[in-house]
Structure 1
């Protein structure tokens, strides 16, 4: 995600999550997936996806009768971009404040803590 691509809204991010998980698909499929969590009208989903196409967040293939949409932004790049913005705005750029808050509000599992330790070790140059 470059600086030219707009940051997705919460609703757009929900749609991107579906497209990243399932790949190119129809508005109907995306709407069915959204409705598993909360009731969303088909026309609302269609309108949001049309706006996303205009913004460059998704691409629309119009070759078949049912238009197929696919994500036009990379999942990891989008996550990094949004996290960087969130970190700057919420924690004044402090990754440690973010991690401390997240761990303080969430009971980390043994596996999660092990994964965090491995990441720290890797970032320190493979100590241990």
Structure 2
């Protein structure tokens, strides 16, 4: 069985998204990005990025005195692992129960409903 990824907190996930979007980034670049919409200390960003590296989700290289971080695992792999954990914990291992909950309780836009219907059709062997 494939080892699951260590649970990721909100701030960690926020930083992962930024690094995934940028491809690679320094603490300073991530800090500046976050400052665009909320206040956060540089040292907080640095600590979180080090924790993500410790968890094996980010890797880094030294460029002079600067550490340049990049994703250590593909975005899809991380998302799948975290989603699998959530399905196990919250929905007792039932992906169908998770989808049912999403469909019944979320306010889905028409294009989102259409996309879900297309995915179901694809599962049935159509399109």
Above 0.5 in TM-score?
A: yes
Give CA-to-partner distance per residue, 1:45-92, whole Å, 9 cap, x none.
111112222222111110333221111111101111111110110011
Instruction: Show the counterpart of 2:27.
Output: 27
RMSD across aligned positions (CA)? 1.8
Gaps of 5+ in 1: none
TM-superposed deviation, 1:14: 1.3
Please say if residues 5 and 82 of structure 2, whose CA atoms lie closer than 8 Å, have aligned partners that are also in contact.
no
TM-score, structure 1 length as denominator? 0.86
CA distance in structure 1 between the partners assigned to 2:88 and 2:38 by the alignment: 30
TM-score under structure 2 normalisation? Answer: 0.87
Residues 112 and 10 from structure 1, CA distance in 2 versus in 1: closer, same or farther, beyond 3 angstroms? same
Give the Cα separation in 1 of the matches to 2:14 and 2:126: 36
The number of residue pairs the alignment matches comes to 126
- How far the C-alpha of 1:106 sits from its partner, in A, is 2.1
Unpaired runs of 5+ residues, structure 2, are none
